[in-house]
């Protein structure tokens, strides 16, 4: 077996029990540190509930991410363009971004759109400025194929994933392995993300668990500063200068009937 990111040789790293019953092998790449499970034969079962029951942080995380996304778009991208929330789950982020004033659309193969109905992405929607892909690249069985699909839509992808801590925790020592839901089949290091950036000839910016791949030049310190202080900057600068779509969306939906 080879690394799904850099094609180097991988070694058996650990074994762990997924979904309380499957004994699964985890492999680690010598070169980029990326960890992948064996072929995930349990995946259909893992997605019986696409939003896993232990995800108690879902609302707080989306509110926080909406502010971080808002500042990144506002300061680095065309704020009047169209955006796509890939693997958008229940549509919480799409709705929050529209509430601030950004023209966001929802896309998800596995989840039901509950909060952003009427704003589903279709391939006819062109000129996407940026994709957000939060908490999904660790779910990809073939990450490079999925990322390549995204880069065909836009060269700017803002995404989150927790990076493997330097202490190299075993599956039972780190919550992000998600053994109880079995959906996290890929775990990344900064180095593995750098390989991805290199492969698609993009710049990687990274702060904590939030990362941006883009073909634009963006200063890393500026990126860090904006992410760090997004909760103050978003309401004071971004929301005040954007026009919320709460009302206009209601009128738009009503006019469609
Ligand atoms: Zn590798």
pLDDT tens digits, 85-133: 999 999 999 999 999 999 999 999 888 999 999 999 999 999 999 999 9
Neighbours of 198 (CB within 10 A): 11
pLDDT digits (tens, 9 = 90+) for 124-178: 999 999 999 999 999 999 999 999 999 999 999 999 999 999 999 999 999 999 9
76 inside domain: yes
| DSSP 3-state of 70 | helix
Pick from 98, 136, 144: nearest CA to 118: 98
Measure 35 CA to ligand 1 centroid, in angstroms.
8
Position 50 pLDDT exceeds 70: no
Tally of structural domains, the chain? 1
5-37 confidence digits (pLDDT tens): 999 999 999 999 999 999 999 999 999 999 999
The burial class, CB within 10 Å (0-12 / 13-18 / 19+), for 214 is buried
How many A from CA of 29 to the centre of ligand 1? 5
- Ligand 1 centroid to 189 CA: how many Å? 9
In angstroms, what is the span from residue 38 Cα to ligand 1's centroid?
A: 15
- Answer yes or no: is 105 within a domain: yes
83 located within any domain: yes
User: Does any domain span residue 94?
Assistant: yes
Select from 125, 90, 120, 127 the least CA-distant residue to 106: 120
Residue 245 falls inside a structural domain? yes
Confidence of residue 48 (pLDDT cuts 50, 70, 90): confident
Q: Which residues fall within 8 angstroms of residue 138, CB to CB, at 6 or more apart?
A: 161, 162, 176, 178, 183, 184, 185, 186, 187, 188
Q: Answer whether residue 153 is part of any domain.
A: yes
Q: Which domain holds residue 224?
A: 55-162+190-256
State residue 57's pLDDT score.
87
Question: Rounded CA gap, 190 and 156, in Å?
Answer: 18
Residue 78, in any domain of the structure: yes
Query: Is there a domain that residue 92 lies in?
Result: yes
Q: The CATH number of the domain where 82 resides is what? A: 3.40.50.150
On the question of pLDDT at 49 being above 80, the answer is: no
């Amino acid at each position: 077996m080879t690394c799904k990111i850099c094609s180097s040789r991988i070694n058996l790293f650990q074994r762990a029990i997924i979904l309380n019953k499957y004994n699964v092998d985890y492999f680690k790449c010598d070169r980029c540190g990326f960890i992948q499970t064996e072929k995930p034969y349990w995946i259909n079962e893992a997605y019986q509930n696409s939003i896993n029951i232990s995800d108690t942080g879902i609302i707080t995380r989306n509110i926080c991410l909406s502010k971080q996304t808002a500042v990144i778009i506002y300061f680095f991208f065309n704020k009047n363009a169209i955006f796509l929330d890939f693997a958008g789950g229940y549509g919480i982020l799409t709705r929050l971004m529209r509430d601030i004033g950004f023209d966001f659309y929802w896309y998800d193969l596995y989840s039901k759109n509950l909060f952003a109905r009427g704003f589903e992405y279709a391939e006819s929607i062109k000129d996407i400025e940026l994709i957000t892909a939060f908490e999904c690249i660790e779910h990809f069985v073939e990450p490079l194929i999925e990322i390549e699909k995204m880069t065909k839509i836009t060269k700017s992808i803002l995404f989150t994933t927790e990076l493997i801590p330097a202490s190299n925790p075993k599956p039972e020592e780190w919550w992000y392995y998600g053994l109880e839901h079995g959906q996290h089949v890929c775990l990344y290091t900064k180095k593995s993300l750098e390989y991805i950036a290199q492969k698609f000839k993009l710049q990687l910016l990274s702060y904590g668990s939030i990362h941006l791949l883009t073909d634009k030049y963006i200063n890393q310190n500026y990126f860090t500063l904006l992410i760090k202080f997004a909760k103050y900057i978003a309401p004071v600068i971004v929301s005040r200068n954007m026009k919320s779509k709460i009302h206009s969306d209601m009128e738009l939906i009503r006019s469609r009937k």
